[in-house]
Amino acid sequence: MDAVFFAQLLFNGLAIGLIYALIAVGLALVYGVLRIVNFAHGEFLMLGAYAMALVTPVLGLLYLPSLAVAMAITALLGVVMFELLFARLKETDFERSILVTTGLSIILLHGVQWIFSASGRMVDTEFGFAGVEIGDIRITATRLAAGVVALGAFLALWLILTRTQFGRAMRAISQNREAALMVGIPPRKVARNAMMLACGLCGLAGAALAPVYLVQPIMGQALLFKAFALVIIGGLGHLQGAAIAAVILGVVESLAGGFLTIVWQEAIVFVAMILVLLLRPQGLFATRIRVG
């Protein structure tokens, strides 16, 4: 085995795995707090990528400010969607929530396609095609930046969830709703915050991916199904589980792409999901179903 080739695949896998993790964690967060499986979650990734594609040239912003603006836009859209749709769904409305979020997904996808066409867009940043060379390994700056941004986002998310009442309230509701009411946590406000945070993270992932991949309306769909698989592998509503599963998947997918036929690169996550569902239905990291 070529060690340089292996290391190159490993690094690429880590970077993309961290991005997958941002998407999956948002999905797990919304499920944990709202008990809604958000089938439109992938579209927030696509909206984040389009926001990046527009903000960078139109406002002339550099990479990081553009990411921040894209994240803010998707977080705000998340709040709007929550107030318009999600807040009207009850915990018991599982089937309704699937239909509503699937409908929202289709509307967002085709709305963007109608406005911007189905053609892909390239996003150019100040990094251009620059790369970082470590020995014989070359990593593109945009991929490296995406990984670093994702790591930073995770650190911030961990601090929010463990050190602030804003984040603790989300964990609280996902662990015990009745106890959350007992201590005076308003569920609707916390659900809105969770939606804002999840959509913001997903938008950030999309914005970070925009200079790496072609930006197109369909881009959120494929990643969403991978994110679902990751959330199931990690354990429904289990944030750390989803994040760890996502990073592992990124690496495995990258290695599979390098050493196996390309078909396996896309299939491997779903094979893993089916195996987990058969052997450990509660997920790899959950001690029980529905934890926060």
Residues of this chain that interact with another protein (CB under 8 A) are 165, 168-169, 171-172, 175-176, 178-186, 291-292
Nearer to another protein, 156 or 182 (CB): 182
Nearer to another protein, 121 or 177 (CB): 177
- State the minimum distance, in angstroms, from the CB of residue 172 to another protein: 5
- State the minimum distance, in angstroms, from the CB of residue 76 to another protein: 25
Residue 130: what residue type? Answer: A
- State the minimum distance, in angstroms, from the CB of residue 288 to another protein: 9
Q: What residue has token string 């199931």?
A: 232
- At 134 the three-state DSSP class reads strand
- Tokens in use for 128? 């251009």
CA–CA–CA angle 35, 191, 219 (5° rounding): 70
Nearer to another protein, 183 or 278 (CB): 183
Nearer to another protein, 194 or 291 (CB): 291
Nearer to another protein, 71 or 172 (CB): 172
- Contacting residues for 159 by C-beta, under 8 A, at least 6 apart: 167
- State the minimum distance, in angstroms, from the CB of residue 174 to another protein: 9
- State the minimum distance, in angstroms, from the CB of residue 171 to another protein: 7
Nearer to another protein, 135 or 184 (CB): 184
- Tokens in use for 230? 């990751």
Query: Alpha-carbon distance 205 to 154, whole Å?
Result: 11
Phi, psi torsion values for 181, nearest 5 degrees: -65, -35
- Contacting residues for 153 by C-beta, under 8 A, at least 6 apart: 22, 201, 204
204 near 65, Cβ under 8 Å? no
Phi, psi torsion values for 179, nearest 5 degrees: -65, -35
From residue 105, give the alpha-carbon distance in Å to each of 23, 42, 131, 224, 276. 15, 8, 35, 11, 27
- State the minimum distance, in angstroms, from the CB of residue 291 to another protein: 6
- State the minimum distance, in angstroms, from the CB of residue 169 to another protein: 7
Nearer to another protein, 175 or 265 (CB): 175
Q: Considering only CA atoms, which of 22, 21, 39, 31 is closest in space to residue 237?
A: 31
